Structure 1
């Protein structure tokens, strides 16, 4: 019985990590979209918010359950916007 409890506990912890990752990843995508929109409009933007969330994701990823994400540079956003037009 204790093995079952330990497996359930481990599974629940992994599920919590995945759910937290999904929330953070959605937040990151929203920040990327905002930077892309600002860049497209020729307005100033930063990648600070994107990379703050990225760092939070990468802390979770070190626990081995969720994937890491790359940090984003302003040049990456500008290059992406350039490909859109």
Structure 2
């Protein structure tokens, strides 16, 4: 989970990334992952519009499987994957 936080730090910003990293270490990696997904979804609504690479999406999918999430939890962000 910490690798994912580092990966998305440019999108999340340093304060959000630091908070998610602290949540991962001190509270619950599962909770931090759910918050990461929500933050990415929110970032997609910003004017500069966040996209995900195929590799980033796969990384999120792998984490979702590791946390035993259903197939639709991460796939809700599939629209953010850059088609190029």
Q: TM-score, normalised by structure 1?
A: 0.40
Question: Which structure has the higher relative contact order (CA within 8 Å, separation 6+)?
Answer: 1
Higher Cα radius of gyration: 1
